[in-house]
């Protein structure tokens, strides 16, 4: 009898361990802080929370449901380590729950638009820091603004097949965020060192902000090259952005360069961006870096290396120059 009880207890413990092993929850994050000197109409030196990558903290988990199906969640919040505050809303970077299997993935919640993901992937600076290409993007006066994330999304991600991938996002208009509604489709191919992708999206209610983006990248050895083209249109206003760049690894270091040009209707959408950076890896998780960024505005454009956070003397005058130099440290976990 005692042997039977012990056997049943052991089986129960074993089944509990198996169940525990079929699911997991991970805490992850990135802390990036830099000291940046900015010059526009005047100059300022600031301690900032995003020198080369957005600071964030998050939780993600996955459960094996059997039969090739999995359930997962992803919660991610922005952080401002320069002053200790958090992003608003707290899970504003991403808050999703998903079911995935051989059919692909169905994702519900708040996450990044697929057409913005292409810009993130093909901008050499990964759309972070002073030299990120979205510094010269215009929202064209739309309620959506510069395309990034949206609430109330239903997303579908195609299963990866022979290097091809794709997906579709749709956001419902629940009148909580002006211009939140939209639909985006994306398709791409990635194999070896080659990566090609394209997306088209419509955003907002009434007059739509339309976005078309294509990108390509090729990596061989320690060298990678990348380029993309984006056209955004809202009513009669439009803007076209073309960017190229590359990166080369040198031992524990990595040098990256980015060049972009923006042009469009009116005199407030034209600018050129030059960015150069150097990363030095102290370990797999900790990196020291420095970045040079310069924006030359044309006409009445006032794009800044500080983006929408520009204020006071560091903001450029119309048609003026915005430039910066920073040094910082990034630690991921």
pLDDT tens, residue by residue, 202-221 = 999 889 999 999 999 999 99
Which contiguous run of DSSP H or E holds residue 329? strand 321-332
Task: Indicate if the pLDDT at residue 15 is higher than 70.
Answer: no
Q: What pLDDT score does 129 carry?
A: 94
Mean pLDDT value of segment 154-160: 95
Specify whether the CB–CB gap between 232 and 211 falls below 8 A. yes
Q: What pLDDT score does 80 carry?
A: 92
Q: What pLDDT score does 18 carry?
A: 43
Q: What pLDDT score does 313 carry?
A: 79
Q: What pLDDT score does 315 carry?
A: 87
Set out the domains of the chain in order of their start, with CATH numbers. Answer: 45-332 (2.40.160.10)
**Where does the pLDDT of residue 4 fall: very low under 50, low under 70, confident under 90, or very high at 90 and above?**
very low
φ, ψ of residue 121 to 5 degrees: the values are -75, -30
Task: Indicate if the pLDDT at residue 309 is higher than 90.
Answer: no
Q: What pLDDT score does 103 carry?
A: 96
Q: What pLDDT score does 11 carry?
A: 38
What is the CB-side half-sphere exposure of residue 317 using CA atoms within 13 A? 3
Among 1-15, 88-102, 168-182, which is the least confidently predicted range? 1-15
**Who contacts 239 (Cβ-Cβ below 8 Å, separation ≥6)?**
137, 138, 140, 231, 232, 262, 263, 264, 265, 269
Q: What is the rounded average pLDDT for all residues in the chain?
A: 91
**Where does the pLDDT of residue 88 fall: very low under 50, low under 70, confident under 90, or very high at 90 and above?**
confident
Specify whether the CB–CB gap between 119 and 133 falls below 8 A. yes
Q: Which residues pair with 219 in a beta bridge?
A: 224
Mean pLDDT value of segment 302-331: 91
Q: What pLDDT score does 246 carry?
A: 97
pTM for the complete prediction?
0.89
Q: Return the number of other C-beta atoms located less than 10 Å from residue 319's C-beta.
A: 16
**Where does the pLDDT of residue 7 fall: very low under 50, low under 70, confident under 90, or very high at 90 and above?**
very low
159/163 Cα distance (integer angstroms): 10
């Amino acid at each position: 009898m005692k042997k039977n009880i012990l056997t049943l207890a052991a089986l129960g413990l074993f089944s509990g361990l198996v169940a525990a092993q079929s699911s997991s929850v991970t805490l992850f994050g990135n802390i990036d802080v830099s000291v940046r000197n900015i010059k526009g109409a005047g100059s300022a030196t600031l301690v900032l929370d995003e020198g080369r990558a957005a600071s964030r903290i998050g939780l993600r988990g996955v459960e094996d449901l059997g039969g090739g199906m999995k359930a997962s969640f992803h919660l991610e919040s922005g952080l401002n380590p320069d002053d200790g505050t958090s992003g608003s809303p707290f899970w504003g970077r991403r808050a999703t729950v998903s079911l995935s299997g051989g059919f692909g993935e169905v994702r519900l919640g708040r996450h990044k638009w697929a057409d913005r993901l292409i810009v993130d992937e093909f901008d050499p600076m990964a759309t972070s820091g002073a030299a990120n290409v979205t510094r010269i993007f215009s929202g064209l006066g739309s309620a959506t603004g510069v395309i990034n994330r949206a609430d109330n999304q239903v997303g579908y991600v195609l299963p990866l097949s022979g290097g091809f991938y794709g997906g579709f996002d749709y956001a419902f208009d629940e009148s909580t965020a002006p211009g939140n509604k939209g639909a985006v489709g994306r398709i791409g191919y990635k194999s070896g060192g080659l990566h090609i992708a394209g997306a088209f999206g419509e955003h907002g209610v009434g007059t739509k902000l339309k976005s078309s983006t294509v990108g390509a990248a090729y990596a061989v050895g320690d060298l990678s090259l990348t380029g993309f083209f984006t056209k955004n249109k809202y009513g009669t206003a439009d803007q076209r952005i073309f960017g190229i760049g590359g990166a080369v690894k040198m031992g524990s270091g990595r040098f990256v360069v980015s060049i972009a040009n923006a042009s469009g209707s009116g005199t407030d959408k034209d600018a050129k961006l030059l960015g150069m950076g150097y990363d030095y890896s102290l370990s797999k998780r900790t990196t020291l870096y420095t970045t040079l960024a310069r924006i030359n505005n044309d006409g009445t454009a006032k794009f800044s290396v500080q983006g929408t956070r520009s204020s006071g003397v560091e903001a450029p005058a119309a048609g003026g120059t915005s430039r910066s130099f920073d040094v910082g440290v990034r630690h991921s976990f």
